[in-house]
Structure 1
């Protein structure tokens, strides 16, 4: 199907980006300016900012409790933003919707960003937050069952990398991994995947923008050949948690996500790949108010409950 008309209309009205190199400070400020005021956000039983005190450092987290209950399953969420954008605030609405639709307590991680913090600072924060959640289950009222990790775009990169790190460390508490249009191969050779050419221009995120957007991360020491940076390069995918990989029809990174899903299946991992027609990269963050795309939260809930 063509690009969803509501998305196409909004993209057509966006101003051209300013000339010159990307300015992380200005871009972050512009994103924060779009955040809804508190009174307009989806209400939940409670939303609390706190700190995950890990052996490495104190990591800011925001905990979303959907309803009052004695115990909960947990979902640890990593926001997207090409490793240099995004925050607890810019993705607050995503975390709220995940909590509401899944019924899980969501822990959103305020990990360190490039270029101020070199690789693997952000990844280490995400992994540390997952370990912290498991080790502090009593404080979080964890029921000891579901411990899922989820993320969008570069947050999906961290999901795949954290799942691999946990497996290699013998930490087997992660039960599910959910990746929304993940960036899994940071080698941006346009001939590697057909979607890099098919969806190169006109759908929001453009192929030519991948290198400059990810330059802050790669310039901080992240090597695209490293499986922790490009999880699709991990040689052995056996033993990883069941996965839901959501892709978008008009995303330049569509094909790498779908290839990763096929590779997981080939390694014996229970993996579901779900392509959303008419959508482009970032639709969970920017366009989940459209009913057919809000369904992604319901699909995630069904996956986590074993119903998909």
Structure 2
């Protein structure tokens, strides 16, 4: 279907030709991290708690969302998007709140270290270590000890897939479900091997010809993009990975790799639900979920997590 009329208005208002400029992380962060809704207009949850988790590498800030009063909860770890070098606990607050309330899960948002100050594998280590910490603090967190899910958007979806692979390898804890929103799963941009990188590569907020530069901050030091912990789509053996919900967007450069990953999981016997939202672009959570066509994404996430 065509781009949603309200989204098209925004796209049409953007300059048609912009000179290429070098990406400066600090400037990009200011723009990316700007909230859409003030806190008082966001979905209200029972409680929100700020914490810090000490790990061997760093002290990692987290934010814990509790949906209601209770003695026991399933837990969802949330890894935010932002190309590994932007995004914060604040930038995704308005996304996590409705996920918390629709699912009934206690959600732990992870403020992992960002590139280029902390390139690969810092973000992956932080997400894995904080997840492990959660399992080791069952009583304090009121975790039910059974259900441990992961969710993330864009580069956060990459971290979800990578943590799932690492958890399968290390066997220190078990992930029961994973939710990937329009994930970036292949960080080798030397060629555009997915049709959506070409079809949706210009004019839809995320420009394909900028992806190599945006991800270069995470890949400092000659990181091998064939490593499945960097590009999870390169993992051939996906057996035993968690049940997955993969949500893609029609006008997103990353659409095809998300859907290919879903197909690869199915071939390896993993139960997968795949939903493509039509007429919408990358990054629509929070930005366009006020529109009727997309507001059910949180309910669908909740239904998947509760099923």
Report the TM-score, using the length of structure 2 for normalisation. Answer: 0.95
What displacement does 1:293 show?
1.4
Which residue in 1 is equivalent to 2:68?
A: 67
* Unmatched runs of 5 consecutive residues or more in structure 2: none
* SS at 1:219 equivalent: coil
Which deviates further from its counterpart, 252-261 or 4-13?
A: 4-13
2-side partners of 1:146 and 1:54: how far apart? 23
Which residue in 2 is equivalent to 1:5?
A: 5
CA RMSD of aligned residues (A): 1.6
Which residue in 2 is equivalent to 1:134?
A: 135
Which residue in 2 is equivalent to 1:185?
A: 186
2-side partners of 1:194 and 1:287: how far apart? 24
* SS at 2:218 equivalent: helix
Map residues 1-308 of structure 1 onto 2, 5 A cutoff: 1-14=1-14, 19-34=20-35, 36-306=37-307
Count of equivalent residues = 306
* Unmatched runs of 5 consecutive residues or more in structure 1: none
Q: List structure 1 runs of 4+ shifted beyond 6 angstroms.
A: none
Go from structure 1 to structure 2 and tell me whether the alpha carbon gap of 1:268 and 1:33 turns closer, same or farther (over 3 Å shift): closer
* SS at 1:277 equivalent: strand
Go from structure 1 to structure 2 and tell me whether the alpha carbon gap of 1:17 and 1:294 turns closer, same or farther (over 3 Å shift): farther
* SS at 2:285 equivalent: helix
What displacement does 1:122 show?
0.8
2-side partners of 1:100 and 1:299: how far apart? 12
* SS at 1:244 equivalent: strand
Given that 1:115 and 1:220 are in contact with CA atoms closer than 8 Å, whether structure 2 keeps it comes out as no
